[in-house]
């Protein structure tokens, strides 16, 4: 058995009967612990050797599990109940997010996320999925048959130094790149390829070979760590119907299968063979599970086309224009059977159709190679032959007058008469295998700064729309931009925001009116952890990184009421008032302690649950720190009632030390009161606001001990975990 306790100096007990312990292999990180004795201590008598690939493994501490909706640990509001039929219908459309990634940035950790297509390469994909999950953190390995790559890329898009490995064919790589294009503000992560498909031309061009040959996963990961990055041009294909062709009964598709090309685009006989292969595989998928059978099919169909010469008249129905130059007559003179637009050196399973005598080809030169192919040249490609170079160009325009088979990166279709325009789209960062003999350069990795838009939220908008992200974003007011490293903590970011407020031009609301300066008590808002916005306690800003709480926009919440009083006003100790002789006067008497105005009406509003009355009194200048004869604040009373709306309002507007005030009779804070009354939701709100978890009442009981006495063990466990987290954070801050 194995028992672990986390914390400094606490033992890690391991016992295996009478057997001697030689070493312990830790799952996920693959670190090896060699003990000196049966009883191990974290900082004593233990020798720990990091795993071979520890710098690419996602640490478990980065993965934060989200509480379920409706759980007392979550303040995410549950949606309104719907009928079971509707719920069943909507269930597949959207699943709850189970966890988020909260990276602790460091230049030494360069994690890799793995996307595996289990349908590629026979059953190789399934085996690799299990192997990668063993060598790495299972949370960084994704099965593409379960929702595609979007979820993984969305989860990890803010992780610095991230790399991506796509295991599959060229289509799998294109799928990952296309999702990266769609994700807002996603960094161009380097993408590597582990070839599992049939052609694997992109993998060949990047040096990863033509197929997976059962290499050890550890070797693959090592090659990935030592790889170098290159840029890959990507091209856009725009299709519009050819309006000059009469008749609408043409059989075919209106658009190409893909509108972005990574490897090559062709039309003619080679696309016809690819189309027949696609149709045959759709009809009998069980016959095409072998790479050798797939290549045999291409060979047989190529021989048939060699005899039929069906597309020998292709040039009579195609007009070609490259960089404004008409090449139609040239392709007619050559009597080509196919026209190929090549972006990478490899084509058709490893052939090299471009003749370098016409110029060097590169994946990042902004030029695409245009090649004419006859059926004889296509058959000779496998023996080292080449096609006829037509040109290298930046743009191309193809006009067809009949339905013509076309393929984009191996995805084929028969396209109706159309006008196709090819132009530059963007560049992707790819990982190429380092050639033997080259030493891996020792480069100092840095994390680049990037600009973040600062958005200001007003308190009234936050209270009204904090559960609706879209409305809250629309109501925010732009303050400008700051340039900051994503690894900066919020204390550093606060200084930059204050500097922006001081030196920048005054921000204006949506009506064009100038906004007042930010109050000193403004706070950060987390907009990306959960389904709603959360405020960040200022005392915990050193524990949060910028990338923890924002994507491309940083939200700050302004609370002008909290800054209406000076710091001296906030720290005034409010003494309990003696009971008045006249009961009627007790309810209306207003006392002044310095500049703080207190009133029994505040307590009365909390007792009756009258939020409007409480808000009006606060806006009139009365303090939410008002206390009654028993020393209870409005927060005590609202917590006892279990009124979450009142508690939220008080926490949002009262000084932060209100959660620490104890009453006179029991010496209890509002958290003690909430626990005693079994108000779990109130407990979560108070803990989130920084309520002291180790404070004791007059009977020396903490809130956790009260929960145990009332047999609410789930709540007691929650409070214990929160106390351990705060204690660990304090120790970390002290050591730093």
User: Residue 622 belongs to a domain with what CATH number?
Assistant: 1.25.40.20
Separation between Cα atoms, residue 72 and residue 66, nearest integer Å:
12
* Domain annotation covers residue 436: no
User: Residue 239 belongs to a domain with what CATH number?
Assistant: 2.60.200
User: Residue 534 belongs to a domain with what CATH number?
Assistant: 3.10.20
Residues 265, 285 within the same domain: yes
Residues 590, 729 within the same domain: yes
Residues 490, 372 within the same domain: no
Output the pTM of the full model: 0.63
| pLDDT score, position 447 | 56
* Domain annotation covers residue 175: yes
Residues 358, 248 within the same domain: yes
Residues 222, 242 within the same domain: no
| pLDDT score, position 511 | 75
> Could you say which of 508, 527, 558 is where a domain stops?
558
| pLDDT score, position 199 | 75
Residues 251, 271 within the same domain: yes
User: Which has the closest alpha carbon to 50: 30, 70, 80, 25?
Assistant: 30
Residues of the chain with pLDDT under 70: 1-51, 66-97, 105, 107, 121-123, 184-187, 247-250, 281-309, 436-449, 466, 486, 529-531, 551, 559-596, 727-736
Enclosing domain of residue 136: 61-67+98-226
Overall residue count recorded for the chain in this entry: 736
* Domain annotation covers residue 371: yes
Residues 142, 259 within the same domain: no
- Give how many domains the chain has, as a whole number: 5
Residues 214, 241 within the same domain: no
User: Which has the closest alpha carbon to 651: 605, 699, 689, 703?
Assistant: 689
Separation between Cα atoms, residue 261 and residue 432, nearest integer Å:
19
Residues 550, 678 within the same domain: no
> Could you say which of 205, 226, 247 is where a domain stops?
226
Q: In 3-state terms, the chain is what percent helix, strand and coil (to 5)?
A: 35, 25, 40
| pLDDT digits 0-9 by tens, 437-488 | 555 444 444 556 677 888 898 888 887 776 777 888 888 888 888 888 767 8
Residues 263, 366 within the same domain: yes
Q: What dihedral angle (degrees, nearest 10) is formed by the CA atoms of 290, 292, 297, 299?
A: 170
* Domain annotation covers residue 438: no
Separation between Cα atoms, residue 519 and residue 387, nearest integer Å:
70
* C-alpha 310 chain-centroid distance: 49
H/E stretch holding 191 = strand 191-195
As given in the structure block, the two tokens for residue 616 are: 């009006």
Residues 199, 151 within the same domain: yes
| pLDDT score, position 48 | 46
Residues 38, 148 within the same domain: no
> 448 has which bridge partners?
none
* Domain annotation covers residue 670: yes
* Domain annotation covers residue 445: no
| pLDDT digits 0-9 by tens, 685-714 | 898 888 999 999 999 999 999 999 999 888
* Domain annotation covers residue 440: no
* Domain annotation covers residue 441: no
């Amino acid at each position: 058995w194995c028992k672990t306790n986390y914390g400094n100096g606490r033992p890690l007990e391991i016992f295996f009967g009478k057997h001697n312990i030689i070493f312990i292999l830790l799952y996920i990180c693959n670190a090896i612990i060699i003990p000196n004795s049966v009883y191990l201590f974290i900082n004593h008598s233990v020798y720990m050797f990091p795993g071979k690939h520890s710098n690419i493994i996602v640490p478990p501490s980065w993965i934060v599990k989200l509480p379920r909706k409706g759980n007392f640990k979550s303040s995410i509001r549950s949606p309104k109940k719907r009928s079971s039929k509707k719920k069943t219908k909507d269930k597949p459309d959207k699943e709850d997010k189970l966890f988020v990634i909260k990276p602790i940035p460091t230049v030494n950790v360069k994690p890799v996320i793995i996307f595996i297509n289990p349908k590629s390469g026979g059953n190789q994909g399934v085996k690799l999925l299990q192997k990668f999950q063993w060598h790495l953190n299972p949370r960084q390995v994704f099965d593409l048959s379960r929702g595609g790559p979007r979820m993984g890329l969305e989860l990890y898009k803010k992780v610095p130094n991230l790399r991506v490995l796509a295991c599959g064919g060229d289509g799998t790589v294109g799928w990952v790149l296309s999702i990266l294009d769609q994700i807002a503000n996603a960094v161009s992560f380097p993408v590597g390829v582990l070839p599992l498909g049939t052609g694997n031309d992109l993998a060949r061009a990047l040096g990863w070979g033509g197929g997976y040959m059962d290499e050890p996963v550890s070797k693959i990961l090592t090659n990935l760590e030592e790889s170098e990055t290159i840029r890959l041009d990507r091209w856009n294909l725009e299709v519009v119907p050819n309006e000059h062709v009469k008749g609408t009964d043409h059989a075919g598709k209106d658009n190409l299968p893909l509108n972005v090309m990574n490897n090559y685009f062709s039309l003619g006989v080679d696309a016809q063979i690819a189309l027949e292969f696609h149709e045959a595989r759709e009809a009998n998928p069980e016959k095409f599970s072998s790479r050798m059978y797939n290549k045999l099919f291409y060979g047989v169909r190529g021989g048939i086309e060699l005899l039929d010469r069906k597309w020998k008249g292709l040039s009579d129905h195609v007009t070609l224009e490259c960089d404004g130059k008409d090449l139609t007559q040239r392709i007619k003179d050559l009597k080509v059977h196919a026209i190929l637009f090549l972006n990478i050196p490899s084509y058709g399973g490893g052939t090299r159709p471009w003749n370098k005598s016409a110029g060097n080809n590169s994946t990042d030169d902004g030029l695409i190679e245009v090649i004419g192919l006859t059926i004889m040249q296509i058959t000779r490609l496998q023996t080292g032959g080449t096609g006829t170079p037509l040109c290298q160009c930046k743009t191309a325009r193809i006009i067809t007058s009949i339905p013509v088979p076309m393929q984009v990166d191996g995805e084929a279709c028969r396209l109706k008469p159309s006008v196709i325009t090819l132009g530059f789209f963007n560049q992707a960062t790819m990982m190429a295998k380092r050639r033997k003999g080259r030493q891996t350069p020792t480069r100092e990795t840095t994390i680049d700064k990037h600009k973040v838009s600062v958005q200001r939220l007003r308190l009234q908008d936050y209270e009204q729309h904090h559960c609706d992200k879209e409305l809250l974003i629309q109501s925010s007011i732009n303050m400008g931009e700051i340039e900051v490293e994503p690894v900066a903590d919020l204390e550093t970011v606060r200084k930059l925001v204050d500097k922006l407020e001081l030196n920048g031009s005054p921000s204006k609301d949506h009506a064009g009116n100038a906004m007042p300066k930010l109050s000193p008590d403004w706070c950060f808002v987390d907009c990306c952890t959960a389904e709603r916005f959360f405020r960040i306690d200022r005392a915990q800003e050193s524990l949060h990184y910028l990338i923890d709480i924002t994507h491309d926009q940083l939200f700050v919440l302004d609370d002008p009421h909290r800054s209406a009083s000076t710091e001296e006003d906030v720290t005034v100790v409010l003494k309990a008032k003696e009971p008045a002789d006249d009961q009627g006067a007790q309810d209306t008497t207003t006392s002044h302690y310095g500049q703080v105005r207190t009133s029994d009406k505040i307590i009365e509003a909390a007792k009756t649950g009258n939020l409007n009355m409480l808000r009006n009194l606060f806006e009139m200048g009365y303090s939410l720190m008002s206390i009654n004869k028993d020393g209870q604040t409005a927060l005590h009373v609202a917590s006892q009632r279990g009124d979450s709306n009142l508690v939220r309002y008080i926490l949002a507007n009262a000084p932060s030390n209100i959660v620490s005030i104890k009453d006179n009779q029991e010496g209890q804070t509002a958290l003690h009161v909430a626990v005693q009354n079994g108000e779990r939701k109130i407990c979560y709100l108070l803990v989130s606001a920084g309520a002291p978890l180790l404070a004791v009442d007059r009977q020396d009981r903490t809130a956790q001990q009260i929960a145990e006495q009332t047999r609410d063990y789930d709540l007691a466990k929650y409070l214990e975990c929160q106390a351990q987290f705060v204690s660990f954070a304090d120790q970390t801050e002290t050591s730093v």
